[in-house]
Amino acid sequence: MARQLLWGLMTGHCHCMMLKWNGKLLRSLKTHCASIICLNWEEDSHLITDDHGHTSKYEDRTSRFFPPAPKVPRMPGLVSGDNGFMDDGEDSFQELSNSSHQRFNVLCSGDKDGNICFSIFGIFPIGKTNIHNLTFPTSSDGAERTKRLLNASIHKVALSKDLCRLIVMCSGDLVDDLGEIHMAGHNEHGLHCLAMNTAIFWNRKNELHQVAQQASNIEDLTEVVRASLSVMSRQWSDAMHTYQEKFSSLSTLIMDHGLDSSPQEEFMSLLGGARTSPPVHQFLVNTLGEVGVKRISKVLCGAGKELQRIVLEHLQPAAEVIGFRMGELRGLSRWRARYHGIGLDEPLISNATEKAGMLLVQVERFMRVLSSVLQQYSNFFNWLLKCIKLLMSEPSDQLLPYNSELVIIFLKFLYEQDPVKQLLEISEADYDVEIDLETAERVRELVQFGGFSDTEYLRRTLAKEFQQLELSFKEAFQMPFTTISRKILCEDLLPLFPLPSLPKASTLMQIPTSISYYEDSSSSSSSPFTGQHQVIDYISFQVPDESFSDIVNCICIVRGFMNDSDCLKKGYSTMEAVLLCVPVDYQCVDLSLYKDSQIVLLLNKATNSSENAGDGCMIILQASDLPFVSISRSAYIHVWRLQELKDSVAYLHIEDEKARTIPHSVIAPLAVSASRGVACVFAARKRALVYILEEDEDEVSDAE
């Protein structure tokens, strides 16, 4: 599923990630405050099982009781696609929900400020850590010391297939807590690998899967509520602007005639049978007229009916499903043995559930207020039409009847007030809805029978209640986020190679790197976390020529780092590495690990070599066949460990490998899909070349 979802980011520029499904924008998330550097999305390949090993699938019961979730309402007048969402006829959200949530998956993203964020299904934030805050316990001269990375920058992140470990490739200066540079004998700025323990994602994947499934759906529904309130507020505001613009001229006419009265007083005098004053006569007959009354009535009534439709088709169904899903989460939160460990806090979830119930009450009240307001406006306009006919001495028998008492109520409470707007909008000044003492007392009495503990909710507006609901959701879902973040720990650090100190960021971005995991068929041991077949990590990167004077044009491949920290505790190391020297007439542009322990290298002909200067080349290597050398490790971190590979460099002979010539100069990045067996190469003249890696012949698709 993760492969079917497209996340867009602009490295170095974009702070947000965009989730697309079949080309349609579903969600834009701003989980980062700095430019995003790298992404890695890993899906659990195993079926969800219970504690006894039986297949266990969490059933989302919502579809039993509710129809498909409502979609975001579109503003009238917008054509399909103008509002950035999917067409109403498409079931993209339903398709996403049915597909993406079947298997547990985690998106990991790193940014320029050193933050690493984790999101379940790519949309529900579940954890965060920062490499600047990580510490590494080490031994030196028999004493325990704590180290950290200074000026650290993330380059690549990769979750293991079992979600239990995260490898982070980053640059930085290894220092102690006092700031003393720890890497002696070389440039202190270098490339490092961190091994992060993310076993919480595996150990509690069932619980996290269930919580994320409910929470992500709730967040989708809150977007429906937010958009509904926004569209309703906009439509009602436009309709009331038409009304106020026309009726404001009456106040001007009253002042021009030198009268000291208000429009309401003039209308009350007219209703009481007194002589019609000149300003009212002029307003009704000349300024407003029969056509004007009918036009304003049509606009207001049309807006009111549209608001009722949005409530019934979007707002109310969304609020009902939110309440149900929060109730499901409240039930889970009471199972403390399973869910307390991932931060599902019962009081916070119960508070959010109560807020969801309050929103439903507010929606019901809004519908009653809106219906009453529309009735009173309609009655007022019927009376005005009757008055205009009488003033113009025209028959009025065919007009709809009106209620004089409702006209009085309208002039007293609605002529210059807008309760619908007050309920829909959050004003700068706190606005409290007035409720009678009897209603307030009944609300307090209901607490004894399981009613809402917050008895002041009826004094809040619909918009304010939704704001309170969002705040309660944020507090409730922040607790799992904080709890999981605390359980993501750094277990190991491996200094790789020194890097030129200046410019650090630009040098790092130019280093081709890749991290991937393959099943270790030669190992009979099983994973200490999952009990499944062991996987082995492969970390590949180009060694900068400036790192060591006697190492040039080399690629380093390290394997076994992920599990090496466990072996070090037992007194031995399983990590291996190899230095692969590329021919001098080629330059490594990018590299990527492929399936079955294969590595794809993207090379360019050196510009000063042969007559084919500028041509590219793509090579597929079998990493398991390379002459790996064991790397000695201990608890001491004081040297660049891979420096000892200088005496065992392997040389790449392109003519002996599976190579393809590319008739263009190529640039990074190299995109490889193991599931589809293709590679995408970006070449000169804005050309994209797609190669089928499984074919021996050069089969390529060209796109300008």
pLDDT digits (tens, 9 = 90+) for 498-523: 877 655 444 445 788 889 888 776 55
- Measure CA 665 to chain center: 37
Q: How far apart are CA 488 and CA 485, in angstroms?
A: 5
pTM beyond 0.85: the answer is no
Q: Say which amino acid occupies 165.
A: R
Within 10 A of 57 (CB to CB), how many other CB atoms are there?
Answer: 12
Q: Looking at residue 346, what is its pLDDT?
A: 94
Q: Give the total residue count for the chain.
A: 704
Helices (H), 334-432: 336-339, 346-391, 404-409, 419-424
Evaluate whether 121 touches 217 at the Cβ level (below 8 Å): no
CA 74 to each of CA 29, 455, 466: distance values in angstroms, whole numbers, following the listed order: 21, 35, 20
Beta-carbon neighbour count of residue 687 at 10 Å? 13
Residue type at 424? L
The C-alpha atoms of residue 271 and residue 135 are separated, in whole angstroms, by: 81
- pLDDT value of position 534: 74
* Contact partners, residue 673, CB within 8 Å, separation at least 6: 3, 679
Q: What's CA 417's distance to the chain center, in Å?
A: 40
Q: What distance in Å separates the CA atoms of residue 604 and residue 591, rounded to the nearest whole number?
A: 12
Residues contacting residue 286 through CB under 8 Å, at least 6 positions apart? none
Token pair of 126, please? 């579940």
DSSP string, 487-516: T-EEEEEEEEEE--STTHHHHHHTS-EEEE
Give me the pLDDT at residue 84, please: 46
Asked if 30 and 18 count as a contact pair (C-beta separation under 8 A), the reply is: no
Question: Cα 194 to chain center, whole Å?
Answer: 26
Per-10-residue mean pLDDT for the chain, 704 residues long?
Answer: 41 54 60 84 69 61 90 71 45 50 83 91 90 77 71 90 90 73 57 91 92 92 95 95 94 91 93 88 93 95 96 96 95 93 94 96 96 96 94 84 94 93 81 87 87 87 94 95 94 82 52 84 54 77 79 87 68 78 88 85 74 75 86 63 78 85 86 85 83 66 54
What whole-number distance in Å separates Cα of residue 254 and Cα of residue 261? Answer: 7
Radius of gyration of the chain (CA): 34
Tell me what pLDDT residue 221 has: 94
Instruction: Report helix, strand or coil for 437.
Output: helix
Which whole-number Å values give the CA distances from 201 to 165, 166, 192, 517, in the listed order?
9, 11, 24, 17
Answer yes or no: are the C-beta atoms of 270 and 284 closer than 8 Å: no
d(CA 153, CA 504) in angstroms, rounded, equals 9
Asked if 689 and 697 touch (Cβ cutoff 8 Å), the reply is no
Tokens found for residue 101: 């949530």
**What's the rounded Cα separation, in Å, for the pair 434 and 441?**
14
State the CB neighbour count (10 A cutoff) for residue 526: 11
Element housing 117 (H / E): strand 115-120
> 78: how many CB neighbours lie within 10 A of its CB?
11
Q: Is 261 left (phi over 0), alpha (psi -120 to 50) or beta?
A: beta
* Residue from 627, 517, 513 nearest 580 by CA: 627
The answer to whether residues 650 and 580 touch, using CB atoms and an 8 Å cutoff, is: yes
Residue 279, preceding bond cis, omega within 30 degrees? no
Q: Tokens 């503003």 belong to which residue? A: 75
Question: How far is Cα 95 from Cα 86, in angstroms, rounded to an integer?
Answer: 12
Structure tokens at 426: 């959050």
User: Closest Cα to residue 310, out of 226, 246, 200, 247?
Assistant: 226
DSSP state of 646: G
